[in-house]
Amino acid sequence: MSSYIRQIQTTLKKAGYYKGDIDGIAGKMTVEAVNLASQVKACTHDEIRAVAEQSKSHPEYNEPTATPPTTVNKSGFVLGERSLNNLKGVNDNLVKVVKRAIEISSLDFAVIEGVRTKARQAELVKKGASKTMNSRHLTGHAVDIVPIVAGKVSWDFNHYYPLAKAMAQAANELGVRLRWGGAWSVITGRAGTPQEWVKAYRNGGGRFLDGPHFEIPA
């Protein structure tokens, strides 16, 4: 029994997500309540992790025939409503990669752009934020994701390396060919680290680093 789990249950019950007893035990109802609340960012990453950790020792999840919780992830991170909306219209395989990546990423992230209109692309080209009117965003084959650090979007490029690592791992697991704008190369099945990929790109004369951008190449 955990006083912290009891506190989480109390908060979730007041918010209408939890209907069980305030017993400090992360059973099935507690896990389901956290899963539901996490979809609308109604609980913190620490709360998600605490429930996920305690639920591992609960009898409901130790029986061979039991179905373990699927949405309390190893990372504890989940895609918010805005990220999910920005994935609408995006290629199904790329959506699967993003959803798998959030489960294994060491750093939280959000999806800030998916499908773009030609007008939006022209605006970005004019600003210098994009170099082409033939972007994969126009066909739903690209997404832009940004790291969330201390609750805020970070533009520090060092924070994009963990995202590239998670996206590459997810793409490898799912058999999806993926290109990263941080090094403008296919990272599926590629050896080395994201830092090494960027270094190779720069050594080859590349200068346009687009850390948030991931795409399924044509």
Question: What CATH number should be reported for the domain holding residue 89?
Answer: 3.30.1380.10
Tell me if 73 is assigned to some domain: no
As given in the structure block, the two tokens for residue 117 are: 């209109």
Give yes or no: residues 128 and 210 share one domain.
Answer: yes
Give yes or no: residues 104 and 202 share one domain.
Answer: yes
Average model confidence (pLDDT) for the chain?
A: 85
- Reported as a pLDDT band with limits 50, 70 and 90, residue 39 is low
- The pLDDT tens digits for 158-216 are 999 999 999 999 999 999 999 999 999 999 999 999 999 999 999 999 988 999 999 99
Secondary structure class of 120 (helix, strand, coil): helix
CA angle, 71 as apex, 65 and 72 as ends, to 5°? 95
Residues 6+ apart with CB under 8 A from 38: 48, 71, 72, 78
Tell me if 68 is assigned to some domain: no
Tell me if 43 is assigned to some domain: yes
- Reported as a pLDDT band with limits 50, 70 and 90, residue 59 is low
Give yes or no: residues 87 and 193 share one domain.
Answer: yes
Give yes or no: residues 133 and 202 share one domain.
Answer: yes
pLDDT at 96: 97
Q: Which among 61, 93, 109 is the end of a domain?
A: 61
Exposed/middle/buried for 170, CB within 10 Å: 0-12, 13-18, 19+? buried
Give yes or no: residues 89 and 37 share one domain.
Answer: no
Give yes or no: residues 96 and 200 share one domain.
Answer: yes
Chain CA centroid to CA 133, Å:
27
DSSP state of 60: G
Give yes or no: residues 205 and 147 share one domain.
Answer: yes
> How far apart are the C-alpha atoms of 3 and 10, rounded to whole Å?
10
Contact 171, 97 (CB under 8 A): yes
Give yes or no: residues 93 and 185 share one domain.
Answer: yes
Query: Could you tell me the residue range of the domain that residue 158 belongs to?
Result: 81-215
Give yes or no: residues 128 and 30 share one domain.
Answer: no
Give yes or no: residues 108 and 15 share one domain.
Answer: no
